[in-house]
């Protein structure tokens, strides 16, 4: 059996010792160092050169995500498993930017922890169940967004003219006079624009026109 030299870093003594105990009981992990302070993790890493470094996001003195980046700057082949306190998009994005190999939540089941630790120690990627669901939902959201037609492309030349005049503050009557059409026709175009763009009022139409000025040219 290959022994996996490991560093465990967490500011909570009970959690840190419990995590180490789970790994020791599995039999493959040798906990070379337990660290309770973020500033000391780099020193411990340089001293031990472990097969696996498990680091919590929240640590005194220096955050885990910063530690991970510093270790990887020195040793791009470092196998780092991050443990998160929160399951939100910010945490997921910070992990993806860090270059660390694994991410799980602190509430993960012991079997998920052991699976993650084994895989990351061998240089494999691992994303905990909660974060995997977030990634799947994000991919679905982006896929749906891509399927939606660009609302700007559905706007006719006349509607673009009316949008432009609305942003200048003109009333329906003034727009009608300028375009040589009836106020009723202007109102019909305005209503169609609201439906196409799923907007509620003229103010939101003006805001849309200003935000998409280049695309509407």
Q: Would you place residue 212 in the very low, low, confident or very high pLDDT band (cuts 50, 70, 90)?
A: confident
- For the chain, what percentages of helix, strand and coil (3-state, to nearest 5) are there? 60, 15, 25
What pLDDT, on a 0 to 100 scale, did the predictor assign at position 215? Answer: 75
Which pLDDT does position 117 carry in this prediction? 97
Give the DSSP H/E element, type plus range, for residue 35: strand 29-35
Average pLDDT over residues 171-197: 90
pLDDT bin (cut points 50, 70, 90) of residue 208 is confident
Q: Is the pTM of this model over 0.75?
A: no
pLDDT at residue 43, rounded to an integer: 93
Please state, in angstroms and as integers, the Cα–Cα distance from residue 206 to each residue in 137, 160, 166, following that order: 32, 11, 6
Question: DSSP secondary structure string, 151-192?
Answer: GGGG--HHHHHHHHHHHTT--HHHHHHHHTS-HHHHHHHHHH
Residue 131 CA to residue 133 CA, distance in Å, equals 5
Q: For position 145, what pLDDT does the model report?
A: 64
Q: Which tokens go with 197?
A: 């763009």
Q: Between 175 and 148, whose confidence is greater? A: 175
> Does residue 4 have a pLDDT over 90?
yes
Give me the domains of the chain, ranges plus CATH numbers: 4-141 (3.40.50.2300), 151-216 (1.10.10.10)
Tens digits of residue pLDDT in 34-79: 999 998 999 999 999 999 999 999 899 999 999 999 999 999 999 9
Residues near 212 by Cβ (< 8 Å), separated by ≥ 6? 152
The per-residue pLDDT for 1 is 66
pLDDT single digits (tens) 111-169: 999 999 999 999 999 999 989 888 888 777 766 766 666 778 888 889 989 988 988 88
């Amino acid at each position: 059996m290959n022994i996996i030299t490991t560093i465990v870093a967490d500011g909570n003594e009970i959690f840190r010792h419990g995590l180490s105990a789970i790994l020791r009981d599995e039999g493959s992990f040798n906990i070379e160092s337990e660290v309770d302070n973020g500033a000391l993790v780099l020193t411990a890493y340089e001293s031990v050169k472990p097969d696996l470094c498990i680091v919590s996001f929240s640590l005194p003195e220096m955050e885990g995500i910063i530690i991970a980046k510093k270790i990887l700057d020195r040793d791009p082949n470092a196998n780092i498993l991050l443990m998160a306190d929160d399951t939100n998009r910010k945490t997921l994005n910070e992990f993806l930017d860090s270059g660390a190999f694994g991410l799980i939540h602190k509430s993960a089941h012991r079997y998920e922890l052991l699976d993650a630790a084994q895989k990351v120690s061998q240089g494999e990627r691992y994303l905990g169940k909660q974060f995997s669901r977030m990634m799947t939902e994000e991919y679905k959201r982006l896929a749906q967004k891509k399927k939606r037609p660009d609302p700007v492309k559905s706007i006719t030349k006349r509607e673009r003219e009316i949008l432009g005049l609305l942003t200048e503050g003109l009333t329906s009557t003034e727009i009608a006079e300028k375009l040589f059409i009836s106020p009723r026709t202007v109102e019909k175009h305005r209503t169609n624009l609201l439906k196409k763009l799923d907007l509620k009022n003229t103010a939101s139409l003006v805001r849309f026109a200003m935000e998409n000025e280049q695309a509407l040219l």
